[in-house]
Structure 1
Amino acid sequence: MKMGMRGAAASVLILAMGATGTVMSQQPAAAPAAAKETSNLNPKQKLGHAIGADVARSLEAIKTHIDLAAMREAVQATFDGKQPLITQKDAQDTDAALRQAMMIANGQQVPGMAPGSAAPKVDNRKVGLMLGSYMVGPSLAELKGDIDVDALFDSVKTAFEGGQPKISQEEGAATLQAYMAGKQAEMQAKAAQLGQANRQEGNAFLAKNKTVPGVVTTASGLQYQIIRPGSGERPMPTSKVKVNYEGKLLDGTVFDSSYQRGEPVEFGLDQVIKGWTEGVALMPVGSKYRFWIPGELAYGENGTQGGPIGPNATLTFDVELLGVQP
């Protein structure tokens, strides 16, 4: 799972809705009734009810326009890896109609519509499909294995109808907090394990690679090989350089390439990873070097968030130095 626990709390859903323009009233949600006994709920059901209550609070203002069966259908399709059950065009049109209807209901003037115009017809099923396909479903997809979908939608339905929730708001908050803490610990443990494996793989590779003819190892552990010599000036560690480059993981996966983008890049050597700052400063203009950069001189224990560079990963770069500016 990616960092940030996307979709585990209502704030994420609200941000997703704001980004797509779905209307949200400033009206507060109705106070829920007292919670039922929860001792018979398993962890997935508790999490489903906790998240469902958050989803319901986020959608309170538009609940009369939501076909919950359609929303559930679309969420399940997302969880199953299927295509959205409504096209983006239909979703955009539905969103526009919903916003206009809500503005008129709240006594607001809709731009481009004459005063007193009737509210546009809102297709509740399409609203449900839109929410499930592009907001709720994607926001919760990474948690799908930990959520009881029946409990999730039972919680939403109960809240919309003003019924008695199966868990209290306090227990729901505690359930979410415990779940997120557990997932955070799990991610940290996995990252530590992966980081150790990457470090061992990188050390073994570099130990063997240093014996290859033409490979030079610097005091920092950086390794390089001259593919094509050059005769121009060498940059200072603070210089701005113009380069073409390609970066690979040890398994050969290309994760970044100016060649693929079709144009070189310019940047300051004091604005990049340590291996680049040290290595490119060794190059004369016109040359092409291959660098092997150990994890501590690359992206360290964090790697790049969400990939593709893992913690402590050793990287390979082919770099052409095209120009230098002071």
Structure 2
Amino acid sequence: MPLWERQIEEWLAEKPERTAAADFDAFWEETQSLALSQTMNPEVISVDYPSKKISVYRVSFEAFDRGRIQAWLLVPTESTSSKLPALIRWHDYLGFRGRICTHLVWALQGFVVLVPDIRGHGDSSDLTHYSRGNNKGYFAQGILDPHEYYLRGCIADGLRMILFLNGRSEVDPNRIGIIGDGLGGLVSLWTAALHPQVNTIAPVSPYPCDWERHVISASSVAADEVKIYLTRYPEHEAMVWNTLSYFDPVNIARRVGCTSFFPLGLQGSAAPPQDSVGIYNLIEGEKELKVLPYDGAGAGIEELISCMQRRLRP
């Protein structure tokens, strides 16, 4: 047996302990209600794109609380079906939605594709009122108050993507999938846990997971940003861990009821594969783990295509 197989066996036997505060469920019920009740005010602008097989749109709508989300929307034009499956495609931290051509692989297979910029990234704004300043990046923004913390807006925006797709006449609301890389993987996990309409998710190297261990052991931008904050303000350590517990997938994974597909590249360092397996172990719904021992984060595109075809285009 290869060493990596023995390592996977050990990880599959581990279940991270929950760290949720007493009001964890109430906090997310409130956030979910606010996110799904806020007006959308969508704007959809056609983009002249050199393909007869898809229509492309530049779309925007209100982000959670303040600001606007900007996204690409790709719609197949040659389908004989009146209702099509849809994919939400989230990028990683410090990334952006990319160029239209990078998403053709999905649209040309018959998926409606929504590709947003995460709040504060690309063309999407983040107008959250933070009562304190920041030292570096987004992972320390609002870190002393769960209601202000940056990830609350990211996750609430994820719920609002479902609202947008529900307003599109060409989308089958029962066939919505989400693929997310890194931070986008975290958003996909949370969206699936909080919105029953999600059919399938594929979190690719989701992070941060198991927050305290991640900060201590991972070589990620998120870990560095939190460590810098704690180095400067050690007196706030208890408040920091309390806030982060509201945004740790360890505390929400059991609520993921849809199909989950985890392509696991073992060579990633920003999102330690052990953390992904820990979250996988906690999910109680239908799930599949595809181990790619010699690949890093972001691997497994063929596996992702196969999964989404099976689940959303049966």
Task: State the TM-score, normalized to the length of structure 2.
Answer: 0.22
TM-score by length of 1: 0.21
Bigger helix fraction: 1
* Greater C-alpha radius of gyration: 1
